[in-house]
Structure 1
Amino acid sequence: MYRVLDILSAEEVAQCREIAATAQFVEGKVSNPHNQAKQNEQLHEHGAYQKSAAIVHKALIESEEFHEFAFPVQIAPPLLTRYRPGMHYGAHADAAYLPLPGGTVRSDLSCTIFLNDPKDYDGGALHIRLGDASIRFKLDPGQAIVYPSDTLHEVEEVTRGERLVAVTFIQSRVADPFRRHMLFELNEVAALEGGKMSQENFSRLQLIQANLLRHWGEQP
């Protein structure tokens, strides 16, 4: 119930890196002073935050695969965060609701967009615990991992170099992860195999897709 997506172009990655190189970062605990697990830095300069968030948000909105997987209703403004040697983010759960100036976002899905080459730093893997499984991600620049926010996860300690990412949270039209995954799989099958069906059966499949989304979806 997670997905690796190609989100940012090389040009968009370069723009985000340029913003990060010249903007002010502050200790990550500024947004949650009581979180003892959090040891990183986050973008603090308002203008730079708006600019970088707009780049990443636009890329997410324009990604068809992101829409097909996440069924997004709201996306929190993506925030640039960085980790230098010795920094990490211990095992934690993301907050269920995020109060934002434009309204509250329920975090159904979490998303990390990687902005620098994994060869540029040691450590720093995103470690997600899915039941008894442990999965680690260090992706190429521009790639994103989208995963359920109700999982325990951590960023392992960076021991060399710098890890630069953008993080955001998504409220999905389909809150239940099992239902969301089933809809995604059904839509994938329809896209891949629909052309091989008779028109009557394909129309029946499309009716099932629409009715399940109509029944399970929370918002238009």
Structure 2
Amino acid sequence: MLIALTGLLSPAEVGAIRDAAGKLEFGDGRATAGRRARAVKANDQALPSPARDAILEKARRALLAHPVFQAAARPEKLTPLLLSRYRVGQTYGLHVDDALMQGLRTDLSFTLFLSDPATYDGGALEIEDNYAPREIRLNAGDLILYPSTTLHRVTPVTRGERLAIVGWAQSFIRGQEQREVLFDLDQSIATLEQEGAQRVLLDRLSRARSNLLRLWAGA
């Protein structure tokens, strides 16, 4: 299940982050890659600093406060976020994310786009599925959430610069299919509440959701 969160950050927030990122020092992105991914990774990552940490904390708080992210990911913990930069010629070849990062199981990956797609060419997040790869280039301030089990890559940047924040979530609900069932229940309950559905129906659906959470949490 791929989910796009539009407008996670406002244009003003994105602009402030880009301005702050322009003053940061970047290093070789391979330093944070796993053994196999290191061979295909060619990008830059912001080095630790108070300014970088402030940027990442702003993104983390916005993400955790977003109701759709909470419903889709059921996040237990997040890995430390990374601020990545791709300049002309840089890319991240086909890979699967490490199953364990910073002592956490990676169930879900996410990319928060910070560059206006009109300002760069290439740099698409390309995710493999059963039919054909999906190329994703979202507006600045939008985020894509996807299973960490997928093969994916960032296509080479051929013009401009691509700036993004990436991270991973360990979910309370380990199974992807179970997360999807709970997400559908959440969305259905929310729609029925807006339509003024009978209280008894909402109570039964809410009970089913809570009992499924009890059954699947930590599984």
The TM-score with structure 1 as length reference comes to 0.93
Please state if 1:200 is matched with 2:200. yes
TM-superposed deviation, 1:33: 7.4
| Contact 1:12-1:55 within 8 A present in 2 as well | no
**Residue in structure 2 matched with residue 58 of structure 1 by the alignment:** 61
| SS of the residue 1:52 aligns to | helix
Once the two structures are superposed, what CA deviation does each residue of 1:117-166 show, in whole Å capped at 9, x if it has no partner?
A: 00100101000012233211110010000000000000000001000000
Residue identity over aligned pairs, in percent, reads 37
The list of structure 1 runs, each at least 4 consecutive aligned residues, that deviate by more than 6 angstroms after superposition, is none
Higher strand share: 1
Tell me the distance in 1 between the aligned counterparts of 2:65 and 2:33: 31
Tell me the distance in 1 between the aligned counterparts of 2:10 and 2:73: 20
| SS of the residue 2:138 aligns to | coil
| Contact 2:34-2:98 within 8 A present in 1 as well | no
Once the two structures are superposed, what CA deviation does each residue of 1:92-127 show, in whole Å capped at 9, x if it has no partner?
A: 00011111xxxx221100000000100100101000
TM-superposed deviation, 1:69: 1.2
1:1-220 paired onto structure 2 within 5 Å:
1-6=1-6, 7-32=8-33, 34=35, 35-99=38-102, 104-194=103-193, 195-218=195-218
TM-superposed deviation, 1:196: 4.3
Tell me the distance in 2 between the aligned counterparts of 1:173 and 1:15: 33
TM-superposed deviation, 1:42: 0.3
| Contact 1:75-1:171 within 8 A present in 2 as well | yes
Tell me the distance in 2 between the aligned counterparts of 1:109 and 1:165: 17
Tell me the distance in 2 between the aligned counterparts of 1:96 and 1:33: 10
| SS of the residue 2:58 aligns to | helix
Pairs aligned (count): 215
State the Cα RMSD in Å.
1.5
Query: Which ranges in structure 1 are unaligned for 5 or more consecutive residues?
Result: none
| Contact 1:23-1:45 within 8 A present in 2 as well | no
TM-superposed deviation, 1:11: 2.4
TM-superposed deviation, 1:51: 1.1
Tell me the distance in 2 between the aligned counterparts of 1:32 and 1:134: 22
| SS of the residue 1:132 aligns to | coil
TM-superposed deviation, 1:13: 1.0
| SS of the residue 2:145 aligns to | strand
| Contact 1:61-1:67 within 8 A present in 2 as well | yes
Letter of the structure 2 residue corresponding to residue 61 of structure 1: L
Query: Which ranges in structure 2 are unaligned for 5 or more consecutive residues?
Result: none
